[in-house]
């Protein structure tokens, strides 16, 4: 496990421990919204470089950088125009190298995002595919088909894209291409060996530059069986997702990852990877196996209510799954795709009728629109968020944190339509508000044009209440969320001496308590009534501040 070292400019102190990732705290940076080094309103590598000490003081083991590659930003950078370069608005390759060096010098590893399901429509390959015309080798890198209808004027199938609307788009000569996400994100053809070879080149390109690991975007959708006749949307829905579904979670995607694994293992220490795979839990171990990507996100906590029974079931089942794959589990409460957890937990639970139909949207469904800001109890959300975070940080496995959650930051709901950027918003014609609210640039100071994000404005509007969450304020406040995160991360390495967890009976169904190696204990009270702790217990961390009892909606850590 990497250690925290305070002095800047130290030579690298990265351990050569090949299993550093098993219990690492990985901090996700959404580069356009972290820190702006040149004052153009867009976060950049220089900005991140200027905040490396902040990351070291926070005590994270690794940072994961969301895409910083050249992109027209049709999908926040997940539309990549060139996989082996830096967007000029974000920086240069030389700055990237400098950043890796600076992070390594503080013992922080670097994970980059790989987006293999689709390229941008501005990628050189796609432009050539459109120009070269039907039947060309260039089109074989993507998924082009003739349309249906008398003159091919209708899309080949009625499939929908994840962002809404048809999954097919027509080009000038009349053919259609498949895009499971935005129109600007044509799906690649993973049966084409050229596509496979090019991604190996990309992985090597970054690994050679010192990158320690990779986060694999939509890892469950690369390979497809497009044998004619293609099924309809209704037919697709009836096909079990057991490894043979034409589009999702196919067994043959692991042939790709076996090849990647050989690449990762050719480095010392081996490069790591984590799959973003939204698949049935039972199939997660396929991605997490050491022969495949080695680790997979578990999004169960992110989808759960703040509820003891749900949390306990999720922990138990995911530790079992991790044991099956030989990997460690991962835990996530927030990322760039979902409503921040401080906000989710401050909203009433979504109400459903007996059939599961949504009656009133709130909590996790807020993203889908309809969640009124007036329903939000900010303080309660923050209280529960800190409790859930300390619970998560006490678990065996690796924790993925999303920039701003260490400030207790809330989702920004009030963004004007004309300032929104997320394709979800546009393709759903506004019925889904989209993900911009968790991507608003961070407040570093309580004053100034962009709260210290940069010299001038910010590419998404920051609300006035961001001042209360500014790093500058929280840093000097021992009761702040930031101070709590710092203390937790500093203590965590001692708590992570092994990967075992044992539940302790609490006599209450709203209180969870578990032990960790060496005698550490974590107690979370999901209810409202205080939970007493034995006299003499060595409480070293408490999300409520109280050290003699576990207050409602809080967590304490007890040291041996």
| Binding residues vs ligand GLC (CB under 6 A) | 75-76, 78, 115, 181, 217-218, 276, 336-337
Shortest Å distance, C-beta 6 to ligand GLC = 33
Give 234: exposed, middle or buried? Use CB within 10 Å, 0-12, 13-18, 19+: exposed
Supply the minimum distance, in Å, between the C-beta of residue 89 and Ca ion: 6
| Pick 32 or 344: Cβ nearer Ca ion | 32
Nearest to 379 by CA among 552, 504, 509: 552
DSSP 364: G
- Name the binder of 57 from Ca ion, ligand GLC, none, CB < 5-8 A by kind: none
Supply the minimum distance, in Å, between the C-beta of residue 218 and ligand GLC.
5
- Distance (Å, whole) CA 332 – CA 300: 8
- Residue 40 touches which of Ca ion, ligand GLC, none (Cβ within 5-8 Å per kind): Ca ion
Q: Which phi and psi angles does 298 have, rounded to 5°?
A: -115, 115
Phi-psi category of residue 110: left, alpha or beta, with phi > 0 → left and psi -120 to 50 → alpha: beta
> Is the distance from CB of 123 to CB of 74 less than 8 angstroms?
no
Measured from the CB atom, the residue of 185 and 542 that comes closer to ligand GLC is 185
470 binds, among ligand GLC, Ca ion, none (CB under 5 to 8 A by kind): none
Question: Is 321 in a helix, a strand, or coil?
Answer: helix
214 token code pair? 């990779």
Select the binding partner of residue 487 from ligand GLC, Ca ion, none (C-beta < 5 to 8 A, by kind): none
d(CA 203, CA 295): 17
Nearer to ligand GLC, 70 or 452 (CB): 70
In the beta sheet, which residues pair with residue 516? Answer: 520
Residue 78 contact among ligand GLC, Ca ion, none, beta carbon within 5 to 8 Å by kind: ligand GLC
Residue number, nearest CB to Ca ion: 44
Nearer to ligand GLC, 24 or 74 (CB): 74
Identify what 38 binds: Ca ion, ligand GLC, none; CB under 5 to 8 Å per kind.
Answer: Ca ion
* Closer residue to ligand GLC in complex, CB, 335/450: 335
Spatial separation of the C-alpha atoms in residues 117 and 260, rounded to whole Å = 15
Residue placing its CB nearer to ligand GLC in the complex, 311 or 400 = 400
**Min CB(233)–Ca ion separation in Å:** 42
Cβ distance to Ca ion smaller for residue 40 or 530: 40
Closest separation in Å from C-beta 428 to Ca ion: 30
Residue 196 three-state SS: helix
Of 128, 121, 117, whose CA–CA distance to 253 is shortest? 117
Question: How many distinct helices (H) and strands (E) make up the chain?
Answer: 15, 19
Q: Which helix (H) or strand (E) holds 208?
A: helix 193-208
- What is the smallest separation between the CB atom of 424 and ligand GLC, expressed in angstroms? 8
Length of the chain equals 560
Q: Which two tokens stand for residue 72?
A: 């027209």
422 interface partner picked from Ca ion, ligand GLC, none, CB below 5 to 8 A per type: none
Contact 95, 49 (CB under 8 A): yes
Nearer to ligand GLC, 100 or 218 (CB): 218
Q: Which does 115 bind (CB under 5 to 8 A by kind): ligand GLC, Ca ion, none?
A: ligand GLC
The number of CA neighbours under 13 Å toward the Cβ of 295 is: 25
The option from ligand GLC, Ca ion, none interacting with 360 (CB < 5 to 8 A, set by class) reads none
Residue 75 binding partner per list ligand GLC, Ca ion, none, with a CB distance cut-off of 5 to 8 Å that depends on partner kind: ligand GLC
Question: Considering beta carbons, is residue 88 or 507 the nearer one to Ca ion?
Answer: 88
Query: Side by side, which strands form the sheet with 176-178?
Result: 144-145, 176-178, 168-170
| Structure tokens, 66 | 């969301």
* Residue 253 binding: pick among Ca ion, ligand GLC, none (C-beta 5-8 Å cut-off by kind): none
- State the DSSP code for 525: E
Q: Which is nearer to ligand GLC, 170 or 336 (CB)?
A: 336
**36 interacts with, out of ligand GLC, Ca ion, none, CB within 5 to 8 A per kind:** Ca ion
Please give the residue ranges that form the binding site for Ca ion (CB under 5 A).
Answer: 36, 38, 40, 42, 44
Residue with smaller CB distance to Ca ion, 42 or 471: 42
Please choose which of ligand GLC, Ca ion, none residue 44 contacts, taking the beta carbon within 5 to 8 angstroms, the exact cut-off set by kind: Ca ion
The span from the CA of 361 to the CA of 351, in Å, is 7
Judge contact between 119 and 80, C-beta under 8 A. Answer: yes
Cβ proximity to Ca ion: between 38 and 445 the closer is 38
For the bound state, the minimum distance from the C-beta of residue 188 to ligand GLC, rounded and expressed in Å, comes to 12
- Which residues are within 8 A (CB) of 363 and not within 5 positions of it... i.e. 6 or more apart? 305, 344, 345, 347, 348, 349, 350, 371
Report in angstroms how near the CB of residue 513 gets to ligand GLC at its nearest.
34
> What's the closest the beta carbon of residue 159 comes to ligand GLC, in angstroms?
16
Comparing every residue's Cβ against ligand GLC, the nearest one is 78
- The residue among 37 and 434 lying less far from ligand GLC, judged by its C-beta, is 434
3 state SS of 398:
strand
Residue 80 burial by Cβ neighbours in a 10 Å radius (0-12, 13-18, 19+) = buried
**Cβ 52 to ligand GLC shortest distance, Å:** 24
The Cα–Cα gap between 292 and 312 comes to: 28
CA end-to-end span of the chain, whole Å? Answer: 21
Q: How far is the CB of 86 from ligand GLC (least distance, A)?
A: 18
Residue 350 CB, shortest distance to ligand GLC, in Å, is 22
DSSP string, 407-457: GTPPP-----GGG---HHHHHTTTSS--SGGG-SPPP-SSSSTTTTSSSS-
In the complex, the smallest distance separating the C-beta of residue 87 from Ca ion, rounded to whole angstroms, is 10
Q: How far apart are CA 166 and CA 157, in angstroms?
A: 9
């Amino acid at each position: 496990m990497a250690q925290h070292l305070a002095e800047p400019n130290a030579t690298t102190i990265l351990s050569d421990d090949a299993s550093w990732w098993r219990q690492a705290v990985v901090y996700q940076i959404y580069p356009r919204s972290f820190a702006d080094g040149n004052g153009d309103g867009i976060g950049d590598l220089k900005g991140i470089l200027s905040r490396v000490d902040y990351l070291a003081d926070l005590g994270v083991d690794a940072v994961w950088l969301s895409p910083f590659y050249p992109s027209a930003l049709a999908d926040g950078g997940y539309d990549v125009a060139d996989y082996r370069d830096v967007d000029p608005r974000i920086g240069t390759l030389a700055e990237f190298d400098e950043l890796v060096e600076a992070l390594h010098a503080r013992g922080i590893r670097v994970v980059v995002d790989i987006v293999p399901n689709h390229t941008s429509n501005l990628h050189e390959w796609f432009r050539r595919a459109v120009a070269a015309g039907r039947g060309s080798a260039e089109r074989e890198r993507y998924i082009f088909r003739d349309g249906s209808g008398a003159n091919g004027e209708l899309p080949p199938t009625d499939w929908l894209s994840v962002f809404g609307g048809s999954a097919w788009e027509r080009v000038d000569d009349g053919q259609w291409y498949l895009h499971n996400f935005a129109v600007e994100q044509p799906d690649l053809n993973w049966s084409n060996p050229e596509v496979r070879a090019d991604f190996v080149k990309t992985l090597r390109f970054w690994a050679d530059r010192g990158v320690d690991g990779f986060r694999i975007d939509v890892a469950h959708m690369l390979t497809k069986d497009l044998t004619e006749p293609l099924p309809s949307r209704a037919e697709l829905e009836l096909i079990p997702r057991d490894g043979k579904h034409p589009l999702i979670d196919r067994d043959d995607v692991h042939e790709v990852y076996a090849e990647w694994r050989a690449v990762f293992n050719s480095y010392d220490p081996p490069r790591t990877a984590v799959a973003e795979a939204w698949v049935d839990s039972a199939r997660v171990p396929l991605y997490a196996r050491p022969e495949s990507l080695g680790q997979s996100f578990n999004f169960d906590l992110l989808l759960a209510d703040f509820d003891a029974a749900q949390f306990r079931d999720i922990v138990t089942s995911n530790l079992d799954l991790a044991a099956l794959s030989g990997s460690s589990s991962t835990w996530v409460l927030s990322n760039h795709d979902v409503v921040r957890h401080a906000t989710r937990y401050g909203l009433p639970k979504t109400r459903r009728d007996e059939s599961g139909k949504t009656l009133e949207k709130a909590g996790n469904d807020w993203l889908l629109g309809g969640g009124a800001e007036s329903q939000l109890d900010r303080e309660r959300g923050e209280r529960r968020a800190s409790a859930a975070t300390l619970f998560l940080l006490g678990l065996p496995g690796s924790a993925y944190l999303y920039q701003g959650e260490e400030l207790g930051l809330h989702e920004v709901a009030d963004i004007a339509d004309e300032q929104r950027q997320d394709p979800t918003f546009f393709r759903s014609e506004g019925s889904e508000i989209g993900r911009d609210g968790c991507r608003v640039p961070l407040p570093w100071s309580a004053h100034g044009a962009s709260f210290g994000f940069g010299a001038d404005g910010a590419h998404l509007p920051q609300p006035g209440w961001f001042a209360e969450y500014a790093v500058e304020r929280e840093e000097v406040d021992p009761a702040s969320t930031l101070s709590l995160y710092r203390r937790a991360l500093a203590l965590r390495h001692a708590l992570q001496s092994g990967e075992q967890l044992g539940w302790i009976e609490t006599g209450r169904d709203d209180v969870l308590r578990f032990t960790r190696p060496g005698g550490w204990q974590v107690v979370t009270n999901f209810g409202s009534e205080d939970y007493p702790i034995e006299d003499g217990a060595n409480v070293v961390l408490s999300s409520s501040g109280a050290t003699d009892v576990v207050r409602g909606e809080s967590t304490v850590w007890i040291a041996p």
